[in-house]
Structure 1
């Protein structure tokens, strides 16, 4: 990398020297220097991207020193023979095999049961996860391009895309743009809404997570949900869920995020205002993957578990994704139904 950068500097200096030569040779030599600079810059950018990807993959491999379950039990849903109608379920993805099967797989199963006239297929948007699972387990999951091309190759006429995203944010926008690139290949194509879209969705999710955790609600326990968070405006869903929980009397329920606000510090500050002895930690995510197992329940000193232990609380981590909840799955089914109804 340093050699490439040095080469760029040398080329730039040489081009400057050429500029002081006669006007007869200046244009051709400057043009050559410019082309050389462009090639070197392009090489640098490509090398940087490759190095970054390889570093991320190596880091993922090195840090995964635990069993994520049997990948062969998961139906990756990349079969052909789709037919006229396809329901493509798009998820970010996870390399945690058991969680993938119990969450994303369970959502796909629910959709398949609800819509027998549609062939349910899978697409992941995180290529780094796809590559990792393929390297580790020898199982290839379609990325979004592959899944859409599979639909094209199978001459699907009606394509319904149902994302498992929590919100209408950056990933949902990128999904919509990608689907639009392939839309001319289908007679009809429509995208369903993410989990938290309408006020009714928020109420249903609130009911689902409070019913799911009521066994811990003993008056001495703070129940904290960890979401991912985003820089986009859609990050407001976390504050909205917190406001709804508080307004409905769930004063000991708290919502925070890993990468945005409310932050872990915000959640700890709120919990310390109460008289709690115990803290329950649970992901507000479709899957219980890397964030749940490491950022939330890991033994690193900056994990949520470690932070609350340091504050003197008894801590219990509940490692399950929202996709394991039947009431959550029913919301995705209803959103897919609305999408299907819109093209009839």
Structure 2
């Protein structure tokens, strides 16, 4: 029996963020899954291409990674995503796994970060603990999510609902590419008397969206728009993958999948 864990991430072209987030998560999963070979795959073909052409770094897509594992004689494969939710990237991962399901004795997928109600509760605690020093009168804390047209986009409203239910009223969640929009969050903020805003990515890595759309100097960045409204803005360029609690949720999901794999055997 040859066992492998394939850790699947969207990816990033920012090396420092990759080391602090993706590689940290991979190592934590490897440490827990004794006897499993650890492999990496990215879902973003654009990022894979940039890393290859710009830096000479070769990273497999999910299908390529599974093909290699098959050719190398692995029989049991656990695929663990580091994705925030079960959106388009997760669907593509599942499609690739489906194509290879007959090539392995067992192949099982773990859950993305936000999958159960417990995950939402845990993430709320992790994020509020991480930003505790800013949670005071006069300050609003805004998390920037990616956003998607996929039905999984409801995860942002669901997470915001947990913040609200637990009376973390200074916390807000917006997205770059879907809803809630930045304008939606601005309407919420303007109803307060706060003069200071903290911005932080609600993404595993701290990549282009965080550096440019959130904290960039261009006119349309969240930082610039808030400053033009007169707010003092603090940008925390910190991916969620840097937080030990987030890493632990993903490790727990991998261990749950390992349990399912053992039940099948």
Counterpart CA distance in 2 for 1:137 and 1:170 is 27
Higher relative CO (Cα under 8 Å, sequence separation at least 6) belongs to 2
1:337 equivalent to 2:255? Answer: yes
CA deviation profile, 1:36-90 (whole Å, cap 9, x unmatched): xxxxxxxxxxxxxxxxxxxxxxxxxxxxxxxxxxxxxxxxxxxxxxx81100000
Residue equivalent to 2:51: 133
Question: Aligned partners of 1:244, 1:173: CA distance in 2, in Å?
Answer: 25
Could you tell me how far apart the structure 2 residues matched to 1:139 and 1:289 are? Answer: 17
User: Which residue is 1:312 aligned to?
Assistant: 230
Partner of 1:327: 245
Q: Highest Rg: 1 or 2?
A: 1
Tell me what 1:221 maps to.
Answer: 139
**The one of 151, 158, 165 aligned to 1:240:** 158
> What corresponds to 2:81 in structure 1?
163
Residue 189 of structure 2 is matched in structure 1 by: 271
| Superposed CA offset, 1:158-209 (max 9, x none) | 0000011111122211211111101111110000011001000000000000
Match of 2:207 in 1: 289
Structure 1 residue aligned with 2:2, among 61, 84, 95? 84
Which ranges of structure 2 fall in alignment gaps of 5 or more residues?
none
Distance 2:244 2:155 in 1: 21
In 1, Cα distance between equivalents of 2:79 and 2:178: 28
For the residues of structure 1 that align with 2:28 and 2:18, how far apart are their CA atoms?
A: 14
Structure 1 position 125, deviation (Å): 1.0
Trace 1:111-260 onto structure 2 (pairs within 5 A): 111-260=29-178
DSSP 3-state at the match of 1:319: coil
**Which has a greater percent of helix?**
1
Q: CA deviation at 1:252?
A: 0.4
- Partner residue of 2:217? 299
Partner Cα distance (2:57, 2:152) in 1: 33
Aligned residue pairs, count: 262
TM-score under structure 1 length normalisation: 0.75
| CA positional deviation for 1:226 | 0.3
Could you tell me which runs of 5 or more consecutive residues in structure 1 were left unpaired when the two chains were aligned. 1-82
Pairwise CA distance, 1:343: 1.4
Alignment of 1:43-58 (within 5 A): none
